[in-house]
Amino acid sequence: MHELLTLAVIYAGAGLLHGVLGFGFALISVPLVAGLYDVPVAVAMNAIVGTANCAYKAWLLRRHIEYRRVLRFFIVAAASVPVGVIAVSSVPQGPAMAVLGLFVVVVAIANLVSRERVVSFMRRRRSFWGLACLTGLTAGAFGTPGPTSVPYFVGQTGHAQTAKANLQMFFTLVAIPVFVFHAFAGNITVTAIGRAAVFVPLVLLVTLAGTMLAGRIRRETLSRVVDAGLVGLGIWIIIENIVM
């Protein structure tokens, strides 16, 4: 019972953030759920809960999706997903969690220090291949394609709705190879699927609530608060898995 309540709080918080910002679900949920189980299982569960959420939002925003741009990025990213899956499946739990914590810290600090420079870098045409491959690696290893794909898609269009739509479509698509390769690696079980599926309705509801709240909260202010919180979360994960 305690475990289910903890999962409900984690997924509700991540869903609310996703509703307001349009991304960030996995970056919040995976590290916390991994603390209950392990990284591969947390990634597999997120592939179920998070994907249902993204697919729903993609359907709502389907008129704004640039399918060619999304598919091009997805094809390259999907090719590197199995590398991330193999890496996280073969590394001991402690080091894997420490790497995840470091990844969260680096991304959050980069956004806090120079969000405009990060976005500017993502806009460069020659950055496409490296970003797509890195996105696939992080999606396969940690179930977190957002940190590198969000600035890319935002930088490719001046329309907020189009960027959001493209991201939701990409998140939905990239979850497919993540789920498949983690299944081949033995990280997905019937128990994990059932445990994750229970929280899909809850996540959809809180995401809808977050979407409704989005217009009342300054996006930039909330983003910085979240980034600061992620720095603390990442540092705690590193300390817990290396020092303690």
Q: What is the pTM of this model?
A: 0.79
pLDDT of the residue at 70: 94
Residue 203's contacts (CB-CB under 8 Å, 6 or more residues apart) are 11, 12, 14, 15, 49, 50, 52, 53
Q: Using CA atoms, how far apart are residues 164 and 167, in angstroms rounded to an integer? A: 5
pLDDT, tens digit (0-9, with 9 covering 90-100), for 19-66: 777 677 887 888 888 888 888 888 888 888 888 888 888 888 889 999
Whether 88 has a pLDDT exceeding 80, the answer reads yes
Mean pLDDT taken over the chain: 81
Domain chopping of the chain, boundaries: 2-242
Mean pLDDT of 89-98: 78
Residue 142 pLDDT more than 90?
A: no
Tell me the three state secondary structure of residue 144.
coil
Residues 67/128, Cβ–Cβ less than 8 Å:
no
pLDDT confidence of residue 204:
85
Residue 146: pLDDT over 90: no
